Amino acid sequence: MFKEFKDFIMTGNVVEFAVAVIMATAIGAVVNGFVTDIIMPVVGQASGGMNFEDLHYALNGETYASLAVATEAGAPVIAYGRWINTIVNLIIVGFVMFLIVRSYNKIKPPVVEEAGPTQEELLGEIRDLLKRS
């Protein structure tokens, strides 16, 4: 059983998948930092100095100066500003992954499919089989 497990773990697909997960986590952290620290402050400034991270709706009907104040007060809130940041992250990660896959597809060697028999060859084989019957 241990040998089977070792063989399974050491196959290329499992190792490649593990590397992909680690790289995706690292790319996600970089993109999250990029969106949170660079993109959203620029978007907020362009929209009149709005801080998207603080956008929230308090479910108890009270008004709070910021999301941190509402959270500290224990108010139930919908933090839709964070959700906007998450959507921007998704769009950027999707675009980066698109560029990576597109670049990979351009540099990978084309798959050459072996030519199969022609229609005439197949019909000839069928004819020969029918003659033998």
State pLDDT tens for residues 99-113.
888 998 888 887 778
The residue segments making up the domain with residue 118 are 2-132
Instruction: Please report, in angstroms and rounded to a whole number, the separation of the first and last CA atoms in the chain.
Output: 51
pTM for this prediction: 0.57
Domain count, the chain: 1
**How far apart are alpha carbons 111 and 105 in whole angstroms?**
11
**How far apart are alpha carbons 96 and 89 in whole angstroms?**
10
φ, ψ of residue 78 in degrees (nearest 5): -105, 110
CATH of the domain at 44: 1.10.1200.120
Residue 58: enclosing H or E segment and its boundaries? Answer: strand 57-58
State pLDDT tens for residues 31-85.
888 888 888 888 888 888 777 788 889 999 888 888 889 989 999 999 898 888 8
